[in-house]
Amino acid sequence: MINSMIEDRTTDSININQKVFHLYCETLLKEYGHNAGQVSLIISNDEEISDLKIKYFNEYLFTDVITFNLEEENEPIEGEIYISWDRICENAIKYKVTTSLEIKRVIIHGLLHLLGFNDQSIQEKTIMTQLEDKFIGIIPEPILI
């Protein structure tokens, strides 16, 4: 069984469709052979995400998503995906897309990290972007309600 939960730490009261988020978790995890797992989505802001980036990665920069794998070896997927609502909004404007599309892309990106994908090289980034596009197309329902 795959479990998912959403925590909104913003002051904006972001309404993520829990059913659609769960569908993304289930679809991606099962696509890569995982029938069990626990994924938490924490919607936050630049300040908290930046603090996490400094604390755990010793990097001083703004980012839209940070993913933490929490499972032990040979255990079902367990992880937390932290996303910055501030970055989602700014990137949506920058890339001329809706916030709904941008948040889908970032959630999928975080799920791919939980599954072991990386984006350190140009080749890895290209693969992740292709997979993001693939999974965005699979689930057309809006994620923001």
Identify the pLDDT of residue 18.
Answer: 94
Count up the domains in the chain and report the number: 1
Helices and strands per DSSP (H, E), number in the chain: 5, 4
Spatial distance between the Cα atoms of 112 and 25, rounded to a whole number of angstroms: 10
Please give the structure tokens belonging to residue 54: 């400094």
Spatial distance between the Cα atoms of 39 and 110, rounded to a whole number of angstroms: 10
Tell me the CATH number at 114. Answer: 3.40.390.30
| Residue span of the structural domain in which 82 resides | 2-138
**pTM of full prediction above 0.75:** yes
Convert the pLDDT of each residue in 92-118 to its tens digit.
999 999 999 999 999 999 999 999 999
Q: What is the mean pLDDT of the chain?
A: 94
Which residue type sits at 101? L
Largest CA distance in the chain: 41
Interval 77-97 mean pLDDT: 96
Residue 143 lies in a domain: no
Spatial distance between the Cα atoms of 52 and 63, rounded to a whole number of angstroms: 10
Which DSSP string do the residues of 62-97 spell out, in sequence order? --SEEEEE-PPTTS-EEEEEEEEHHHHHHHHHHTT-
Identify the pLDDT of residue 61.
Answer: 82
Convert the pLDDT of each residue in 132-143 to its tens digit.
999 999 988 888
Identify the pLDDT of residue 65.
Answer: 95
Identify the pLDDT of residue 139.
Answer: 86
